[in-house]
Amino acid sequence: MSMTDEPGLARSPGVTYQNLLDGDSRDVPAVLRLEHPRYLGSEDIDVGRYTSRAWHDQEVSHVWRKVWQYACRTDEIPELGDYLVYEIVRDSYIVMRTETGIKAYVNACLHRGRRLKDHDGRCSEIRCAFHGFAWTLDGDLHDIPGRWDFPHVDDAEFSLPEARVDEWAGFVFINPDPDAEPLADFLGEIVDQFAVWDLEKRYKQAHVAKVINANWKVTQEAFCEAYHVNATHPQIMAYLGDTNSQVDIWDNFARVITPSGTPSPLLEWEPTPDEMMRSMLDVRHDQEPPAALDDEADMRQVAAAGARQRWRKIAGDDWVDRMSDAELMDSIDYTVFPNFHPWGAFNRIVYRFRPNGDDHRSAIMECIFLAPYRGEKPPPCEVHWLTEDETFTDAPELGMLGKVFNQDLFNMAKVQLGLETTRKPGITLGNYQEAKVRWLHHKLGQWVDRGREAAVTFNAADAGNGSGDSSTAGTG
Ligand code: FES
Ligand SMILES: [Fe+2]
């Protein structure tokens, strides 16, 4: 689809992302040449989606219990019996490497319900700490202490219940819904779009997690558009084409591509290439940038050449020479519904946002770096949990990103506070630049409506037994 002035498809005046790609020093991969704008309406989004407990409960029933969700990387559980505890709202799963592949057991004992695993680890059987019921790694019951007292337990019916598991690009996904479509169907075209970047051949270089005092969507949406850059991160406007961003919406995934090495169209002055370079490298007042740039320099090519030089030793000639300028420097921020953000190309970022336990007013934000390597794959790093008092600059592994995240962090809890007190029933979104935020809500609405309809059908079929379904309460 080409650029158009139709509502919802009109872009910021000035250079487009596709124009910038024309100046690349390499051929850019076809995936960056795709354009898929989609107008999903201009209506306000109900504030209750961030503040209402009833809405949260709908998300639990109709989204978190039904959707494919990223649990971990395959190399985080490399050996037989390795497991990781994945938690989502009220649910907990043991994601485990078994003889027959990776499985995800519901983390609850079938005797009297104790959570089976409290932490990540490795085991040779799954034994409950309360009375000692035990299961094999494949989930079959294999021991009940004092077996004589349980003649009514049928071993065949005492296997651990499982969620579905599948993998893509080194990511392990789970789905609690036995009737869900296959992962590959759910992911759709994104699989082909990422083929050129092969995230499987990366190792987990950094993993930082923090509890944020805001609904998970407030937290996630702070990373779904570049429109906030002018007010939240003004220091990067000299080299970031915030409002030049290209927004593309497919079905279960969407992306915002924000170009680097080009100034914000919102600036009322024009930075020179040298000023862009200093800003990009975060050069202090008493430091010199690596080389003074003349006014004719093509900043995107210069910066990409610098990135190639830095990564050559780490990633190897083949890899570095193949990468276009765009892949080395732009923010290619994909989101897979509902909460998983693998960035395309070279930018190592993967984000995940989820509710903090069952609290709809706090969230867990995670930033993972998946880095290329040469030779033997380095082991994945541990999660670095920041405490309540720490900010992202307490995670030096994030580099300059820590400072930028802190600027985002400064808004999040205040957005939640504002949403709790506002008298306006809905939030208002820009048609183009904030289309990924709208897409998230569009998808959420679809999933919740579908789940509610299924519950109504189920209850109608089951009428007369008095088992009402509470899931119809709520705001939309
Ligand atoms: S609750 Fe697990 S063995 Fe009793
Ligand atoms: Fe930001």
Q: Where are the domains of the chain?
A: 17-43+195-427, 70-179
CATH superfamily of 70-179: Rieske [2Fe-2S] iron-sulphur domain (2.102.10.10)
Residue 112 CB burial class (10 angstroms; 0-12, 13-18, ≥19): exposed
Continuous H helices in 362-434 = 401-421
Q: CA-based angle 467:57:167, to the nearest 5?
A: 105
Three-state SS letters, 204-231: EEEEEEEEECCCHHHHHHCCCCCCCHHH
pLDDT score recorded for residue 316: 87
Higher-confidence residue of 295 and 450: namely 450
287 vs 64, higher pLDDT: 64
Average pLDDT over every residue of 70-98? 98
Q: Which of 291, 72, 64 is nearest to 173 (CA)?
A: 72
Cβ(127) – ligand 1 distance below 6 Å = no
Please give the residue that has the higher pLDDT: either 297 or 353. 353
133 lines ligand 1 (CB under 6 A): yes
128 touches ligand 1 (CB under 6 Å): yes
**Residue 8: per-residue pLDDT:** 79
Of 169, 172, 142, nearest in space to 82 by CA: 172
Beta strand pairing call for 126-127 and 384-385: unpaired
For ligand 2, the distance from its centroid to the CA atom of residue 411, given in whole angstroms, is 9
> Looking at residue 462, what is its pLDDT?
64
pLDDT digit string, tens, across residues 317-375 = 988 898 999 999 999 999 999 999 999 997 899 999 999 999 999 999 999 999 988 89
Peptide bond into 176 cis (omega under 30): no
pLDDT of residue 464: 53
Ligand index nearest the alpha carbon of residue 367: 2
- Write down the pLDDT at residue 313: 87
> How many angstroms is it from 127 CA to the middle of ligand 2?
44
pLDDT at 466 over 60: no
Topology match between the domains 17-43+195-427 and 70-179: no
pLDDT at residue number 347: 82
| CA distances (Å), origin 64, targets 190, 192, 247, 279, 427 | 21, 26, 26, 41, 24
Minimum mean pLDDT among 187-196, 321-330, 466-475: which range?
466-475
Q: Give dist(CA 228, CA 290) in Å, integer.
A: 30
What count of other Cβ atoms lies within 10 Å of the Cβ of residue 205?
A: 16
Measure 358 CA to ligand 1 centroid, in angstroms: 24
Query: Which residue CA neighbors atom 3 of ligand 1 most closely?
Result: 131
Rounding to the nearest 10 degrees, give the CA dihedral for residues 380, 386, 387, 388: -140
The topology under which CATH files domain 17-43+195-427 is Naphthalene 1,2-dioxygenase Alpha Subunit; Chain A, domain 1 (3.90.380)
Token pair 């499982």: residue: 162
Ligand 1 touching residue 129 (CB < 6 A): no
Under the banding of pLDDT at 50, 70 and 90, the label for residue 297 is confident
Task: Dihedral sign for Cα 183, 188, 191, 192, please.
Answer: positive
Q: Which residues contact 298 (CB under 8 A, 6 or more apart)?
A: 23, 273
* 396-423 pLDDT per residue, tens: 999 999 999 999 999 999 999 999 999 9
Task: Check residue 86 and report its DSSP letter.
Answer: E
- Please answer whether residues 126 and 111 qualify as being in contact, where contact means their C-beta atoms are separated by less than 8 angstroms: no
- pTM for this structure? 0.93
Predicted confidence at residue 31, as pLDDT, reads 98
d(CA 25, CA 328) in angstroms, rounded, equals 11
Q: Which two tokens stand for residue 141?
A: 């019951």
Comparing C-alpha atoms, which of 90, 320, 68, 362 is closest to residue 191?
A: 68
- N-to-C CA span, the chain: 32
Q: Using CA atoms, how far apart are residues 421 and 101, in angstroms rounded to an integer?
A: 49
Each residue's pLDDT tens digit, 408-463: 999 999 999 999 999 999 999 999 999 999 999 999 999 999 999 988 887 777 66
Which residue's CA lies nearest to atom 4 of ligand 1? 131
- 367 forms beta bridges with 208, 351
Q: Of the candidates 391, 64, 412, which has an alpha carbon nearest to the alpha carbon of residue 221?
A: 412
Q: What confidence tier does 295 reach under pLDDT thresholds 50, 70, 90?
A: confident
Is the pLDDT score of 45 beyond 80?
yes
pLDDT category of residue 283 using cuts at 50, 70 and 90: confident
CB 165 within 8 A of CB 37: no
Query: What pLDDT score does 456 carry?
Result: 85
Say if ligand 1 is within 6 A of residue 114 CB.
yes
Rounded Cα gap, residues 353 and 165, in angstroms? 20
Which tokens is 37 given? Answer: 């704008």
